[in-house]
């Protein structure tokens, strides 16, 4: 910006146009006044003349906001029908206008795209393109308040994408663990060479509760244990073992991993920061070979 300009553009326009209107009413307006204001504000003379013309027609010394397209229910219906493809919606609106002369011409494609970006959230647009699962990626969840040790545990299974030798055969093991939500400490863990069942859950739970020997000092009795709807965690052996200690195990609703976000973050962190560095990692990119 020119160092001579001491006003902001909008403020300078308001003051300058008000002065020009006053001169115009008295019949004293001259091109020299417009030239002087343009030099002081840092714009061209034609710009100042346009400001004055807009003020004469609207009586407003500030910029008049231009009208913008707002998606109506019919447009949103078409957008959902075409999977969030704004160009396809524009083509259909243009085809309808060409077939029926009574219909108005649709706005430009760029206008529609700006309206969609302005009125629809990123999650809404992702849901139109790829469905509800894609929309949930954009959901924002608040953090739980800080609690105390053993106030709540979370448990889950994690498939290890690393091949290991199990009785002469290569297989990917499973990890079953419990984590304390307050301290982020892993209280109990069990590794099984097969799809986890209640034996892995009970083994990890025993390690988590026991604080003597090689299992302590982390652990103890939690106030509540949050798990998903896995049948291994909700079996009678699991609920009776914790029920004997008056520890409830709430059954979380389906498709709500954020309700046990601590253990889900543990699964992601271990996979991205540790398992990927192990030999025979199965998710490592591979070269395509041709025969």
Residues 102-127 pLDDT 10s: 888 889 999 999 999 988 999 999 99
Proportion of the chain above pLDDT 90, given as a percent: 40
Same domain, 158 and 265: yes
Same domain, 159 and 268: yes
Inside any domain, residue 287: no
User: What pLDDT does 65 receive?
Assistant: 58
Inside any domain, residue 89: yes
Same domain, 266 and 161: yes
Span 123-147, pLDDT tens digits: 999 999 999 888 888 887 777 788 8
Same domain, 158 and 120: no
CB atoms within 10 A of CB 156: 22
Span 23-80, pLDDT tens digits: 888 888 889 888 988 888 888 889 889 888 888 877 777 776 556 788 889 999 999 9
Inside any domain, residue 254: yes
With a CB cutoff of 8 Å and minimum separation 6, the contacts of 248 are 224, 225, 242
With a CB cutoff of 8 Å and minimum separation 6, the contacts of 60 are 54
* Residue 219 or 85, more confident: 85
Same domain, 167 and 121: no
The CATH number that applies at residue 267 is 3.30.420.10
User: What pLDDT does 64 receive?
Assistant: 60
Structure tokens at 87: 């160009």
* Residue 243 or 287, more confident: 243
Same domain, 158 and 250: yes
Same domain, 132 and 158: no
Span 193-212, pLDDT tens digits: 888 888 999 999 999 999 88
Q: At what angle do helices 86-99 and 109-119 cross, to 10 degrees?
A: 130
Inside any domain, residue 285: no
Inside any domain, residue 126: yes
How confident is residue 222, by pLDDT bands cut at 50, 70 and 90? very high
Assess whether the previous peptide bond of 217 is cis (omega < 30° from 0).
yes
Inside any domain, residue 147: no
Inside any domain, residue 284: no
Same domain, 117 and 53: no
Mean pLDDT of 147-171: 91
HSE of 189 in the Cβ direction (CA atoms, 13 Å)? 14
The whole domain housing 240 covers 153-277
* Residue 155 or 255, more confident: 155
Inside any domain, residue 146: no
Per the structure, the count of domains in the chain is 3
Proportion of the chain above pLDDT 70, given as a percent: 94
Same domain, 116 and 17: no
User: What pLDDT does 3 receive?
Assistant: 45
How confident is residue 7, by pLDDT bands cut at 50, 70 and 90? low
Same domain, 231 and 158: yes
Same domain, 260 and 175: yes
DSSP class of residue 283 equals: T
Same domain, 257 and 158: yes
Helix (H) or strand (E) holding 2: none
Q: What value does the mean pLDDT of the chain take?
A: 86
């Amino acid at each position: 910006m020119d160092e001579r300009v001491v006003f902001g553009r909008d403020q300078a326009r308001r003051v300058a146009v008000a002065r020009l209107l006053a001169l115009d009413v008295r019949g004293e307006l001259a091109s020299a006044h417009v030239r002087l204001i343009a030099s002081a504000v840092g714009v061209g003379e034609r710009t100042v003349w346009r400001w004055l013309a807009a003020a004469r027609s609207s009586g407003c010394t500030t910029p008049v906001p231009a009208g913008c397209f707002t998606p109506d229910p019919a447009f949103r219906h078409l957008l959902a029908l075409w999977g969030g493809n704004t160009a396809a919606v524009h083509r259909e609106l243009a085809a309808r206008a060409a077939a029926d002369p009574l219909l108005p011409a649709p706005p430009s494609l760029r206008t529609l795209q700006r309206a969609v970006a302005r009125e629809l959230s990123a999650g809404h647009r992702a849901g139109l393109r790829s469905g509800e699962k894609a929309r949930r990626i954009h959901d924002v969840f608040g953090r739980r308040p800080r609690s105390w040790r053993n106030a709540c545990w979370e448990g889950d299974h994690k498939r290890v994408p690393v091949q290991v030798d199990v009785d002469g055969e290569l297989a990917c093991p499973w990890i079953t663990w419990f984590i304390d939500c307050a301290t982020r400490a892993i209280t109990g863990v069990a590794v099984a060479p097969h799809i986890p069942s209640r034996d892995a859950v009970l083994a990890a739970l025993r390690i988590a509760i026991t604080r003597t020997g090689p299992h302590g000092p982390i652990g103890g009795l939690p106030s509540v244990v949050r798990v998903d709807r896995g049948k291994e965690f909700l079996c009678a052996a699991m609920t009776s073992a914790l029920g004997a200690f008056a520890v409830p195990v709430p059954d979380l609703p389906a498709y709500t991993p954020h309700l046990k976000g601590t253990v889900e973050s543990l699964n992601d962190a271990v996979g991205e920061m540790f398992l990927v560095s192990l030999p025979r990692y199965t998710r490592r990119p591979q070269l395509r070979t041709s025969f």
